[in-house]
Chains A and B, each alone.
Chain A
Amino acid sequence: MRDVAFGQYFPGSSLVHRLDPRAKILMFIAYIVIIFCTFNYAALGITTAFTALFLILSGISPKFYFKSLKVIIFIVIFTSLLNLFYGSGAPIWQWWIFRITPNGIHRAVFVTVRIICLILASSCLTFTTSPTELTDAIERLMKPLKAVRFPVHEIAMMMSLALRFVPTLLEETDKIMQAQKARGADMESGNLFKRVKALIPILIPLFVSAFRRAYDVATAMECRCYRGGAGRTRMKQIHLAARDVIAFVTLALVIGGVIVCNSLMSGVL
Chain B
Amino acid sequence: MNCVLELKNLGFVYGKGTPFEKRAVDNVSLTIKRGEFIGVIGHTGSGKSTLMQMLNGLMRPGEGQVLLDGRDIWEQPKKIREVRFKVGMVFQYPEYQLFEETVYRDIAFGAKNKGLEGDALDKAVRDAADFTGLKPALLDKSPFDLSGGEKRRAAIAGVIAMNPEVLVLDEPTAGLDPMGREVLLSQITRYHKECHNTVLLVSHSMEDIARVADRIIVMNKGKLAMFEPTKEVFRRGDELSRYGLKVPQITNIMQALRRRGFDVPEGVLTVDEAFDALLPLLQKEGKLW
Contact = CB atoms under 8 A, between A and B. Distances in A.
Interface of A: 61, 172, 175-176, 178-186, 200-201, 204-205, 208-209
A209 B99 contact: no
A183 to B, nearest CB: 4
Contact of B58 (A61, A181, A186, A201): A181
B87 to A, nearest CB: 9
**Range class of the B interface residue count:** 20 to 34
B97 interface: yes
Contacts, number: 55
A175 B89 CA distance: 12
A181 B60 CA distance: 14
B189 interface: no
Contact of A184 (B19, B81, B98, B144): B81
A269 B204 CA distance: 68
A208 B151 CA distance: 14
Contacts of A180: 97
B11 interface: no
Interface in B137-175: 144, 158-159, 162
A184 B162 contact: yes
Given A178-B91, A179-B91, A208-B144, A184 B97 contact: no
A183 B110 CA distance: 5
Nearest to B164: A182
Q: Which DSSP category, helix, strand, loop or mixed, fits chain B's interface? A: helix
Contacts of B56: 182
A183 B96 contact: no
Contacts of A204: 99
B91 A205 contact: no
Nearest to B87: A182
Given A179-B96, A182-B89, A183-B162, 13 more contacts: A176-B97, A179-B89, A179-B94, A182-B56, A182-B84, A183-B158, A184-B84, A184-B110, A201-B97, A204-B99, A205-B96, A205-B97, A209-B96
Nearest to B168: A182
A179 B159 CA distance: 10
A204 B97 CA distance: 9
Contact of A201 (B19, B85, B99, B144): B99
A229 to B, nearest CB: 34
B53 interface: yes
Contact of B113 (A172, A179, A185): A185
A186 B82 CA distance: 11
A175 B91 contact: yes
A182 B88 contact: yes
B23 interface: no
Contacts of A178: 53, 58, 91
Interface string B104-116: 0000011001100
Contact of B96 (A61, A176, A182, A186): A176
Contacts of A200: 99
A184 B99 contact: no
The 10 A-B residue pairs with the shortest CB-CB distance in the complex, in nearest-first order: A184-B113, A183-B110, A204-B99, A179-B97, A182-B89, A201-B99, A179-B91, A205-B99, A178-B58, A184-B110
